[in-house]
Amino acid sequence: MTHYKRMRRPERDQTETSAAVREFEVFFDRYPNSMLTSEVRERWREARSRLSEASYKVGLYYFRARWYPGAIDRFKEVLKDDPGYPNRDGVYYYLAESLVRTDKKAEALPYYDRLVKEFERSEFLADAHRRIETLSVQ
């Protein structure tokens, strides 16, 4: 909990957040039947999401700076390391957009599809539908 309490915002250094995630995972291994498991799992999810948010924001910065290879790496890292990240819709959208802008349209289409299938509500849905139509025609 010391590491958890010292976690910083996603824009800042994530050393304490990484340490909190590791320690929560040690707790799960050592005390699988603890009465505290549900509380610890909530805090683990918050810490894990904070790490993913930090990587997402770096990827978004790279996207806006038009350095798409860096953005692609960061977005894929989020999806690989944290498949339960709650804001995956943004990751899918910006990953797909980065792939489109690097002429990897066939690789981008599945991410738009996942966005549409996994999220009923998202600020990216309308744009994703338009991109799917555009890419499917080509």
Q: Interior CA angle at 95 toward 93 and 100, to 5°?
A: 95
pLDDT in tens, 83-104: 999 999 999 999 999 999 999 9
- Output the pTM of the full model: 0.88
Q: Which band of pLDDT confidence, cut at 50, 70 and 90, is reported for residue 138?
A: low
pLDDT at residue number 136? 80
Cβ(33)–Cβ(40) under 8 Å?
no
Output the average pLDDT for the chain.
94
**Separation CA 131–CA 105 (nearest Å):** 10
